A and B are shown apart, each in its own frame.
Chain A
Amino acid sequence: MDILVPDFGSIFTKIHNPVLSRVIAAIFGGYLLANSVAILLPYLLPGSKANGVMTGILVSFLIYACAAMWVFSAKSAWQAWAGILFSCLLCISLVTIFMPNGLFSGEWF
C-alpha cells in the first residue's frame, strides 16, 4: 500500500477496484451478515424468543465488526465476498428451516 494518500480519483474510474470492493463488502456485506446471524440466534439459544432476539441485536454489532475485519484479512476481494455471502446464505437457510412457516411467509410482509 502506498504510504501517500491513494489517488482517490481512481477509486471511481476503475471498474475493478479491490479496495473499494472490500469496503463495500465490509460495510454492506458485514451489515447483512450481522443481521443474518442475529436473526438465526433466537432459534439456537435456549430461553424465550424475546430474550433471544434481544441477545441477537446486542451481539450483532460485534458480528459486524468481526465481519469487517475478516473482509480485510481475506486473501482477495473475491474471497471476502464469497465468505460473507456464503455465511449469509447459510444463516438464512437455517432460519427458513427453523421458522415454522418459512422466512418469507405472512409474518414479514
Chain B
Amino acid sequence: MNGTFRQSMSWLHTWAGLVLGWVLYFMFITGTVGYFNYEIDRWMQPEIPFTAAKPSQAHMLNIAEKRLQEVAPEATDLFIDFPVGRYPFLAIWWKNPVDEKTGEPGSFQNEKINLQTGKPLVTRDTGGGQLLYRMHYALHYIPFRLAYWITSLCAMFMLVALITGIVIHKKIFKDFFTFRPGKKQRSWLDMHNVLSVLPLPFHLMITYSGLIYLMFTTMPGILTASYGVGRENQQSFFEEIYTQEEHQEAAGKPAAKAPLSAMLIEAEQRWGTGRIGYIEIESYGDINAHITVAKTSSSGIGGGQTLTFNGVTGELQSANNFIQEADAPAQFYGVMTSLHEGLFANTILRWLYFLSGLMGAGMIATGMILWASKRSAKASKAGKTSKGLALVEYLNIGTIVGLPVAIAAYFWANRIIPVNLEARADWEVHTLFITWAIMLVHPYVATLFEGRNQTLTKVWIDQLKLASFAFGFLPILNLFTTDKHLGVTLLQGDWVMAGFDLSMLCISLCFGIAAYKIQRKQKMRTVSKKTNTSNAVSSEAASQEIITL
C-alpha cells in the first residue's frame, strides 16, 4: 500500500489475520481437540467396557465374521475395523442391498461389537470427538462443500498472514528469547511472537497441508483444464497418479468364498501380529470378489500399506504401498496430508501435536487481542469510541474464552441429556452452539449497563472463571453419572478415561490461573490509580512506542 514494502506487508498481516481470525481460532481449537478424537469418543460413550488385554486379531476376526453372519448374511460388501493403536472399536460395516423401488444403491450400515460377548455394543447416541474433529474443516449446519470453500479461504488468509508475518519480522531470532511481561501491548506482542515463531514450522505445515487436503474441491479448474470436465475424464488422472488397480465389478456369477482367516495369517507374517487396521471385502461370493487387508495407519508416515487378495481362491494378488510407489508430487502430497492428520503419532508426539495446535490457537488469539489493545489505547486517549473496535473486543472474549466454554458444555450435555432422548446427538451439538452464542452476546449485554472498559475486563474474568468451572466440574459430573470415574479408572489403569478427566482438570486450572491473574492486576491498577496517576501516564507513554509499529 502506501509506504515501504514492510509497511504494506504489516498492514496485510494485520487485516488478513483479523477478518477471519475467529473462524480460524475455531478451526484451530476443534482441529487440535481432534488429535484426541478417539479418546473423546471413548469418554463420550462410557458404556464401552474397559478391556485391559485385547484378544488376538484372529479371534476378533472370528467374532466379527460371526456377527456379520447374524446381521447381514446376504451382504457382499463388508468392512471390518480393528481396535488397533488408538482406535478403540471392533466395528463392522455392511452394505444394504439396492433399493428395489427407487433403484438407489444401498447404504452402509455399521455396528460396534462388544469384544467380550460378541454382541453389538449399545452406546449412547453421540457425535463424540469425531464430530468435534470434523467441524474444523466441515463446520456444522451447512453443506460440507460450502464449508470446504470457507475453511480453505480461511486457511488461505492464514497462509498470507504467516508469510507476511515472517516478512515483517526484523529480528526473528532475537524476539524468540524476548518476553517483557506486564507491559500491556508489548507483552501481547511478545507473546504473539513466541507463540508464532517457536512452532512456526508446525503452523506452516498445518496451514499448507490443510489447503492441499481440499485442493481437488477448491482448485478444480487446473485439473479440468488438462483433463476435461467430469468424473470420467478426471478418473484417468487419479489412476495415473496413484497407479490404482482396476477392480472389476461384481459379475453376478456366484463363486466360493475364500476364508478370511488365511489372509489374516498371511498379513501377520508380513507385518507382525496385531498390525492390521482393517479388512475390506468387495463382492464376496462373486467370481470377481477381492479382499483388501490394510496395515494400521498408526505404524508410520504414509502407513498406507495394503495386501489385495483374490476373494475366490484366497491367493495374494498384490502388495501395495500407497505412498512409496507414487511419483514425487503424489508422494509429497501423501506425506503432507499424513503430517496434517498425525495418525502415525504415538503418545508423546500426539501431545506435541496438541500443544502445537494450542499454540496456533494462542497465536491467533494474541494477535486479535493485540489488534484490539493497540486501538483501544489510542481510542481512549483520543476520547473516541469505535463500533468496529467494540465488535472486535466482544468477539474476542466470546470466542477466545467462549468457544472453550461451549466445548465444555458439549461434554456436559453428553452426560446430562437423557440417554434415550430422540436425536440426542443433535442436541449435544446444539448445546455447543447455543452456549457459544450466549458467550458471544454476553460481553455486549454486559456493557449496556456499565462503563465499557471496566466492564470488558470484568467480562474476561467472568468468562474465564466460568470456563474454569465448566472444565473443572466435568470429572465430578462424570463421577455422578457413570461408573467410570477417576476413582475407578485410575485403579484399573484405564488411561484413556482417566486421561480425559485429568486433562479437564488441567485445562480448568489454566483458565483459573488466567482469571486470577487478570483479577489481581485489575485490583492493583485501581489502587495505583487512586494513589498515583502519573505512574499510569508513563506506562501509557511506553506502550505508545509499540503502537507506532
| Interface set of A (CB-CB < 8 Å, partner B) | 1, 3-6, 8, 19, 22, 34-35, 38-39, 42, 47-58, 60-61, 64-65, 68-69, 72-73, 95, 103, 107-109
Chain B residues contacting A1 (CB-CB under 8 Å) are 1-2, 11
Query: Nearest chain A CB to B267's CB is how many angstroms away?
Result: 30
Q: Is the C-beta of B240 less than 8 angstroms from some C-beta in chain A?
A: yes
Q: Is the C-beta of B493 less than 8 angstroms from some C-beta in chain A?
A: no
With A and B bound together, what is the CA distance between A5 and B372 in angstroms? 10
Chain A residues contacting B164 (CB-CB under 8 Å) are 69
Q: Is the C-beta of B78 less than 8 angstroms from some C-beta in chain A?
A: no
Contact, CB under 8 Å: A39 / B225: yes
With A and B bound together, what is the CA distance between A42 and B226 in angstroms? 8
Binds A, one of B135-143, B381-389, B520-528: B381-389
Contact, CB under 8 Å: B9 / A65: no
From the candidates A52, A53, A64, A72, name the one contacting B12 in the complex (CB within 8 A). Answer: A72
With A and B bound together, what is the CA distance between A38 and B9 in angstroms? 25
Q: Is the C-beta of B378 less than 8 angstroms from some C-beta in chain A?
A: yes
Which B213-267 residues have a C-beta within 8 angstroms of A?
215-216, 219, 221-229, 237, 240-241
Contact, CB under 8 Å: B389 / A5: yes
Between-chain CB contacts (< 8 Å), 6 pairs: A4-B389, A19-B1, A47-B327, A54-B330, A61-B159, A107-B228
Contacts known (A3-B375, A72-B11); A58 close to B333, Cβ less than 8 A? yes
Contact, CB under 8 Å: A65 / B156: yes
Contact, CB under 8 Å: A57 / B222: yes
Q: Is the C-beta of B479 less than 8 angstroms from some C-beta in chain A?
A: no
Contact, CB under 8 Å: B160 / A55: no
Query: Nearest chain B CB to A66's CB is how many angstroms away?
Result: 8
Query: Nearest chain A CB to B14's CB is how many angstroms away?
Result: 9
Contact with A along B1-15 (1 / 0, CB 8 A): 110010011011000
How many residue pairs link A and B with beta carbons under 8 A? The number is: 116
Q: Give the number of chain B interface residues (Cβ < 8 Å).
A: 49
With A and B bound together, what is the CA distance between A38 and B227 in angstroms? 13
Contacts known (A3-B374, A4-B375, A5-B388); A53 close to B226, Cβ less than 8 A? yes
Q: A51-B241, A51-B328, A68-B16 are in contact. List 16 more A-B contacts (CB 8 A).
A: A1-B11, A5-B387, A39-B222, A39-B226, A47-B327, A48-B240, A55-B329, A58-B332, A58-B333, A61-B211, A69-B12, A69-B160, A73-B1, A73-B9, A107-B228, A108-B225
Query: Nearest chain A CB to B302's CB is how many angstroms away?
Result: 16
With A and B bound together, what is the CA distance between A54 and B327 in angstroms? 10
With A and B bound together, what is the CA distance between A89 and B332 in angstroms? 30
Chain A residues contacting B514 (CB-CB under 8 Å) are none
Contact, CB under 8 Å: A54 / B9: no
- Chain A: which residue is nearest B330 at the CB level? A54
- Chain B: which residue is nearest A80 at the CB level? B1
8 smallest A-B Cβ distances: which pairs?
A: A5-B388, A50-B240, A54-B329, A39-B225, A38-B222, A72-B12, A35-B221, A55-B329
With A and B bound together, what is the CA distance between A6 and B1 in angstroms? 15
Q: Is the C-beta of B495 less than 8 angstroms from some C-beta in chain A?
A: no
Contacts known (A8-B388, A51-B328); A64 close to B333, Cβ less than 8 A? no
With A and B bound together, what is the CA distance between A53 and B30 in angstroms? 32
Chain A residues contacting B333 (CB-CB under 8 Å) are 54, 58
Q: Is the C-beta of B547 less than 8 angstroms from some C-beta in chain A?
A: yes
Counting chain A CB atoms within 10 Å of each CB, the highest count among B221, B228, B374 belongs to: B221
- Chain A: which residue is nearest B328 at the CB level? A51
- Chain B: which residue is nearest A19 at the CB level? B1
- Chain A: which residue is nearest B208 at the CB level? A61
Contact, CB under 8 Å: A64 / B156: yes
Which B364-418 residues have a C-beta within 8 angstroms of A?
374-375, 378-379, 384, 386-389, 392
Which B68-103 residues have a C-beta within 8 angstroms of A?
none
- Chain A: which residue is nearest B336 at the CB level? A58
